[in-house]
Amino acid sequence: MAPFVTVNCAASADGKIALSNRRKVNLSNTLDLERLHILRAENDAILVGIETVLQDDPSLTIRNNSSSDNNLIRIVLDTKFRTPLNARVMNEESKTVIATGNNGFTSPKNNVEIISCGSNEVDLHLLMKKLSDMGVENLLVEGGAKVIWSFFREGLVDKFILFVSSKIIGGATTPTIAGGRGFDKESSLIQLKMEKVEEIGDGALITYTKK
Ligand SMILES: NC(=O)c1ccc[n+]([C@@H]2O[C@H](COP(=O)([O-])OP(=O)(O)OC[C@H]3O[C@@H](n4cnc5c(N)ncnc54)[C@H](OP(=O)(O)O)[C@@H]3O)[C@@H](O)[C@H]2O)c1
């Protein structure tokens, strides 16, 4: 069975997820960060796109977790295998899967597995099948904009958790929650079901599921 996919994202009040120069910005407050690490611990794997790795250099581990056995599998969508060897996501703290195109890349490290999944970009349905075969039942997608768009476009998002901070970033080209091409027809829009709205400090946490 395909993994249950949760997308988690922290956005500004105007829907942006990074600074106008695409640099990382901390939009979550302390309470939301605590929630995020609990959410990570509830999943088997965590996934981001290569641009997030290059821009933010996240380690994608569970904070205060000293045992590497308890960390999740880290997955990077990276067609051309551009993930630097010294990126934090490649460190020994956990296993890392690089989902590439069909280019015959080989793994440079023991904790890194390469899986080929398509040509132009990673075929998410093929990836879901391969992750399922690896025993991944719950997958957490943390961005960035293009990756979140792709998961929505392919109808693969089971749950969408959005933290909306009380900050404004602005900028016409600043990354927003879902990037990519977007829909140009009202009939194509994805209708979600809003399950819950919670106040978390100075922000709002909205949980959506599939309609
Ligand atoms: N606030 C938050 O919660 C949050 C979280 C994460 C990131 N961010 C921000 O998001 C920004 C990065 O987002 P981004 O949209 O530029 O890049 P991204 O979504 O991180 O990565 C996109 C790249 O992944 C690769 N990819 C391979 N297969 C794909 C597929 N099926 N669908 C989508 N991408 C695929 C492509 O590169 P190749 O063609 O080379 O494979 C693509 O260009 C950064 O500014 C970061 O700070 C914010």
Question: Any idea where the domains of the chain sit in the sequence?
Answer: 4-210
Q: What is the pTM of this model?
A: 0.97
Residue nearest to atom 8 of ligand 1 (CA): 144
What per-residue confidence (pLDDT) applies to 68? Answer: 44
What per-residue confidence (pLDDT) applies to 65? Answer: 55
Q: Which atom of ligand 1 lies nearest, measured to the CA of 78?
A: 41
Start-end of H helices in the chain: 30-41, 50-56, 124-133, 145-153
What per-residue confidence (pLDDT) applies to 69? Answer: 53
Residue 11 parent element (H or E): strand 4-11
Distance 109 CA to ligand 1 centre (A): 23
Q: Could you give phi then psi for residue 186, rounded to 5 degrees?
A: -60, -30
In terms of C-beta density within 10 A (0-12 exposed, 13-18 middle, 19 or more buried), how is residue 19 classed?
Answer: middle
Out of 77, 120, 124, 163, mutate this one to test ligand 1's pocket (max ligand atoms within 8 Å of CB): namely: 77
Residue nearest to atom 31 of ligand 1 (CA): 122
Length of the chain: 211
What per-residue confidence (pLDDT) applies to 119? Answer: 83
Distance 126 CA to ligand 1 centre (A): 18
Cα–Cα distance list, 24 to 21, 35, 77, 192 (Å): 9, 19, 19, 27
What are 148-176's pLDDT values in tens digits?
999 999 999 999 999 999 999 999 999 99
Out of 9, 16, 17, 53, mutate this one to test ligand 1's pocket (max ligand atoms within 8 Å of CB): namely: 17
What per-residue confidence (pLDDT) applies to 160? Answer: 98
The token duo for 10 is 């922290």
What per-residue confidence (pLDDT) applies to 71? Answer: 84
What per-residue confidence (pLDDT) applies to 63? Answer: 83
Q: Which atom of ligand 1 lies nearest, measured to the CA of 127?
A: 31
CB 72 within 8 A of CB 88: no
Q: What is the three-class DSSP state of 61?
A: coil
Out of 14, 55, 82, 146, mutate this one to test ligand 1's pocket (max ligand atoms within 8 Å of CB): namely: 146
Please spell the DSSP secondary structure of 141-198, one letter per residue: E---HHHHHHHHHTT--SEEEEEE-S-----TTS-BSS-SS--SSGGGPPPEEEEEEE
Which residues in the chain land under pLDDT 70? 64-70
CATH number for the domain formed by residue range(s) 4-210: 3.40.430.10
In terms of C-beta density within 10 A (0-12 exposed, 13-18 middle, 19 or more buried), how is residue 171 classed?
Answer: middle
- Those residues with Cβ within 8 angstroms of residue 184's Cβ, 6 or more apart along the chain or in another chain: none
| CB of 16 closer than 6 angstroms to any ligand 1 atom | no
